[in-house]
A and B are shown apart, each in its own frame.
Chain A
Amino acid sequence: MPEVTPQQHALFEEQGHVVIGPILPPADVARLRQAFEAQAAAWAAEIDTPLDDYLAVVSQWTNVWEHNPVFREQLYHQRAAAIAAELIGCQRVRVFHDHLIVKPPHGGSTVPWHRDLPNWPVAEPRAVSCWLALDDVTAESGAMRFMPGGHREPVTRSIDFLNEAKVWGERERDAVPVAVPAGSAVFHHCLSWHTSPPNSTAGWRRAYITIYLDATCTYDPTRAAWHPMAGRVSVPAGATFNEDVFPTLGPGLSAAHLATLRGGAA
């Protein structure tokens, strides 16, 4: 049974992002929030820092699944992986990495306009991110804004957030915040342009992101050597990624289903 409707697929193709969900029931979302709270306290203690001070500075964590069994379970969520495979149009997906990104009440910073792929040592633009909201995310609490259709534009180099800014001019008006209810996810293309503002509300804005690659994507060491995952690649340039750090997920789509998807997308 396809996880993505033809309308959602068409929207993804056109816009570069699509909200799908809920993909988790409220109880599972609450469990992830509790897991984050416990894990954040443990992380703060690990570096001997009061939790409030810690969360005032640290806002994102990579490879959470390697630290926490609840997030590990979520990483292997079959439905999210199937949606990603359908949107990419591949038989199997591979996890590049996960991360938690948190904006505390009346906190967090602007994440400038960027695209993800130029910041990854991945050769092919065949990847999607599943941005799973753990709170109801609104424009005020820091919802991402996307530039519709930007994913279809040519690959660009990465943007140095500390020295550069993407300027859209008049086109900036086309960008709209994408609200996401807790338990739902926005799936976005690895070349979509996106940004997010600080959280101006009294609530948290927590999201758990899993980056899915087409399992056949290959390692490109000439790109983003500084990325924290680059040091964990143990295969040569041009090879598919090592399974121990970048696991493939699920049984994979059948060839027949994939052919249907590709036919539908055409």
Chain B
Amino acid sequence: MNRIQMYASSTHLKQGLHRALAVTHALSTPIEAGGTLAWWTGLEPEEQEAGRLHRLSLESLAAVYRRPAVRGMIDAGRAAVALPALDHAAVAAAFRAAVISGRAHRAHMGRDIYGSSNKGLWDLVCADLGRAVAERFGTSLGDEAVPTADSAPADAALTALRALTAFDTSPAGSDHDACVAWLSARLDDLGFAVEVTGADRGRPLIVARREARGLAGHVVLYGHYDVTPFGREQKWVHPPRKLTEANGRLFARGVADNKGPLACRLAGLATLERTPALTWLIQGEEETGSAVAHALLPAVMEDLRPTLWLDETGYHDHEDGTLRLLARTVRPGDASEPPDGAMLQLLKALGGLASRWGVAARHECRGLNKSVVAGGCPFNRSLPAGARYLALGVNDSGARIHGLNESLPAWTFPLHVAELDVIFRWTGAIAERAS
């Protein structure tokens, strides 16, 4: 929330002050392949965990904001969104007032006029930054921090994933057509014009298109509804044909590859009012050679010139949740070059967003590793030279795709919806600038 309210001004202020540190760090830090964004690593060792979780006290934040390096970082981050440097003397004075007010309230129920000291500090540090960031990247980047332990999929996403995993779309399965019908209906509900093609050649390809809703530009999304075989079902800890939630993870065949990402994006799109034009390509043979997609996707993709190509999912490190930002500029032969300057800004914003969930972000200049995909990935192979490519999503490196006990973390779902919002806002801004 990019607002301070009288009823919880201390809480809102602390969130805003953490957010300002996270966002200005992301916007001011060069991001290179292999580089990691984690603003709290610049804090003293004993402060880092509380900083990561956005739980530093106001007194600790006052000390952090006094440090010359932090002041420089904040001013650089503000400059990145065309804001002037802070008046650090005024900020220090406002911190002092807010700290006195907070201490008096805790000690003997003394206070200022209903949060006015907190509001004074908020207005100096948080208000204009929040507005400037929201203009460029949407309000998701300004939402309250959500600790990973408390982050859970929306009911709509779980409902969608439960339905998708109930379809047997393994190579020997018989539910592919039913799954295509279900997906088509959901896409239709979301306002997509849906074309189902290639049924005469194999498992059909879904090509869904939606006009822009308030934002310029165009994003192409990719995904697939088929899954690998179930394997020895008795070896699964949870039944592979039925979605199970356990220990913060979601289990079933195909949850990670690729039904979870599909469900998350379907549910997420229903909540995002403004989007650029969207094209969603969803095939049904990724695990069995992609014959239909190899035949049809090149022609479909040849005419598309989107602002961004978004692959089927992306990954977090399962050890600590670090977000992998797989981003590149595509060169002939599916080769990768570093992202351009505009896309680096997007990566920084996504890194800042991840920090709101308390996880770091690391840029890797490559695409998803699809060496195990039979016949290669038709989406990646058909990307035009110069394409901006991003792989981002709900999976983590403990997902065990294609293996027994396939799963994915639940906490990544709300983050990915926020990522879509940031991506779409960035797309709109980039496309407007280019036109």
Q: A-side interface residues toward B, CB under 8 Å?
A: 43, 46-47, 49, 53-54, 56-63, 67, 108-111, 160-163, 226, 228
Chain B positions 84-128 with a Cβ under 8 Å from a chain A Cβ: 96-97, 100-101, 103-104, 107-117, 119
Residue from the list A56, A58, A108, A163 in contact with B110, Cβ < 8 A: A58
**Is the Cβ of B7 less than 8 Å from the Cβ of A54?**
no
Given the interface pairs A60-B110, A163-B5, A226-B7, the reply to whether A47 lies near B115 with Cβ below 8 Å is no
Q: By the criterion CB–CB under 8 Å, are B4 and A162 in contact? A: yes
Task: Please give, as numbers and ranges, the residues of chain B lying within 8 Å of A49 by CB-CB distance.
Answer: 100, 103
A67 and B108: CB pair below 8 A?
yes
| Known A-B contacts A58-B101, A59-B113; A46 and B108 likewise in contact (beta carbons under 8 Å) | yes
A54 cross-chain contacts in B, Cβ below 8 A: 100, 104
**Contacts A57-B112, A59-B113, A109-B113 given; 7 further ones with Cβ under 8 A?**
A59-B111, A60-B110, A60-B113, A62-B111, A110-B113, A162-B119, A163-B4
Residues of B within 8 A of A60 (CB): 110-113
Among residues of A, the one whose C-beta sits closest to the C-beta of B97 is: A57
Q: B117 — nearest CB in chain A belongs to which residue? A: A57
- Chain A residues near B434 (CB, 8 Å)? none
Kindly provide the distance from the CB of B249 to the nearest chain A CB, expressed in whole angstroms: 34
Residue of A nearest to B118 (CB): A162
Partner of B107, one of A47, A63, A110, A226: A47
B6→A58 contact, CB < 8 A = no
The interface residues of chain A lying within 8 Å CB-to-CB of B114 are 111, 161-162
Tell whether, in the assembled complex, residue A162 and residue B6 are in contact, meaning their CB atoms are under 8 Å apart.
Answer: yes
The residues of A that contact B172 with a CB separation of less than 8 Å are none
CB–CB A161/B6 < 8 A:
yes
* Cα distance A246–B368 in the bound complex, in angstroms: 64
How far apart sit A77 and B107, CA to CA, in the bound complex (Å)? Answer: 27
* Smallest beta-carbon distance B407→chain A, Å: 38
The one of B4, B96, B112 that contacts A58, using a Cβ cutoff of 8 Å: B112
Contact with A along B1-38 (1 / 0, CB 8 A): 00111111100000000000000000000000000000
Closest residue on chain A to residue B111 by CB atoms: A60
Q: Which residues in A have their C-beta under 8 angstroms from that of B7? A: 160, 226
The answer to whether residues A63 and B109 also contact, given A160-B7, A161-B114 and a CB cut-off of 8 A, is: yes
Chain A residues in 8 Å Cβ range of B113: 59-60, 108-111, 161
Contact status A163-B3, CB under 8 Å: yes
Contact call B115/A162, Cβ cutoff below 8 A: yes
Chain A positions within 8 Å of B107 at CB level: 43, 46-47
Contact between B116 and A109 (Cβ–Cβ < 8 Å)?
yes
* Chain B, Cβ-Cβ closest to A47: B103
Query: How far does the Cβ of B100 sit from chain A's closest Cβ, in whole Å?
Result: 5
CA distance A53 to B112 in the complex (A): 12
Q: Which residues of B contact A47 (CB under 8 A)?
A: 100, 103-104, 107
Query: Contact at A62–B4, with CB atoms within 8 Å?
Result: no
Q: Looking across the interface, which residue of chain B has its beta carbon closest to that of A108?
A: B113
- Shortest 7 CB-CB contacts between residues of A and residues of B: A47-B103, A62-B109, A226-B7, A58-B110, A109-B113, A57-B100, A58-B104
Question: A111 vs B97: C-alpha distance in the bound complex, in angstroms?
Answer: 18
In the complex, what distance in Å separates the CA atom of A46 from the CA atom of B108?
Answer: 9
A210 → B minimal CB distance (Å):
15
Within B270-307, which residues are at the interface with A (CB < 8 Å)? none
8 A-B residue pairings within 8 Å (CB atoms) = A54-B100, A58-B104, A60-B110, A61-B109, A110-B113, A162-B116, A163-B5, A228-B109
B9 A43 Cβ-Cβ under 8 A: no
Query: What's the least CB distance linking B106 to chain A, in Å?
Result: 8
**Contact between chains at B101 and A57 (CB < 8 Å):** yes
CB distance from A45 to the nearest CB of B (A): 10
Q: How far is the CB of A57 from chain B (nearest CB, A)?
A: 5
CB closest chain-A residue, reference B104: A58
Find chain A residues with CB under 8 A from B117 CB.
Answer: 57
Which of chain A's residues has its CB closest to B7's CB? A226
Quick one: closest B residue to A61, CB to CB? B110
Query: Which residues of B from 29 to 81 have beta carbons under 8 Å from A?
Result: none
Cβ of B260 to closest chain A Cβ, rounded Å:
37
Given A47-B100, A53-B100, A162-B119, CB of A58 within 8 Å of CB of B9: no
Partner pick for B6 among A59, A108, A109, A160, CB 8 A cutoff: A160
CB distance from A10 to the nearest CB of B (A): 33
Distance in angstroms from A244 CB to nearest chain B CB is 16
Which of B4, B112, B113 has the largest count of A CB atoms less than 10 A from its CB? B113
Residues on A with beta carbons closer than 8 Å to the beta carbon of B100: 47, 49, 53-54, 57-58
**Chain B residues within an 8 Å CB radius of A63:** 109
Q: How far is the CA of A116 from the CA of B269 in the complex (A)?
A: 43
Chain A residues contacting B4 (CB-CB under 8 Å) are 162-163
Name which residue of chain A comes closest to B106, CB basis: A47
Closest to A110 in B: B113
User: Is B5 within 8 A of A43, CB to CB?
Assistant: no
A4 to B42, CA, bound (A): 66
| Residues in chain B near residue A228, CB distance under 8 A | 109
Rounded to whole Å, the gap between the CB of A60 and the closest CB of chain B is 6
A222 to B113, CA, bound (A): 24
